[in-house]
Amino acid sequence: MPIEAIAYPVIEAELIAFYNAASSALGWGCEAFESPPRARPKVFITVQRVGGETTGVFTDVPLVAVQVWATTMAAAAQLARLVRAQTYRLPEQVPDIARVDIQALTQFPDPDAEVPRYQFAVQLTTTGRAV
């Protein structure tokens, strides 16, 4: 019996779309990107898969760093708290995401650009589909 090929969601794309929709609906006034854009806005979010594992034929467990950049550390902290709170809603709104585990929110200033930034890591349980 042949083994089915399984495709998992491109988690960065899923989260970027989710955060951009939340920003629009909730008035955060920022966009999410995969990496900092060349023409950096004053406030933005980045989403990067930094690890994880495939735990079975149909399950992928990506570890994702979510970073929130702003003009002050207080503004970055406040927006990061809002972004983190919305992250818990992923299983309700994104069909391929079954579970969310969020690690601590930490201050993470950008040493190169000297831009205030907060970060949290999120481990997601996602389901794959046969292709």
Contacts 24+ apart (CB under 8 A), 32-39: 36/69, 36/113
What CATH number has the domain bearing residue 118? 3.30.2000.10
Q: How confident is the model at residue 1 (pLDDT cuts 50, 70, 90)?
A: low
Tell me whether residue 57 is in a domain. Answer: yes
What burial letters (b/e) apply to 6-16, b meaning 16+ CB within 10 Å? bebbebbebbb
pLDDT on residue 81: 98
For the chain, how many structural domains are there in total? 1
Q: Tell me the mean pLDDT in the region 24-46.
A: 96
Tell me whether residue 107 is in a domain. Answer: yes
Tell me whether residue 91 is in a domain. Answer: yes
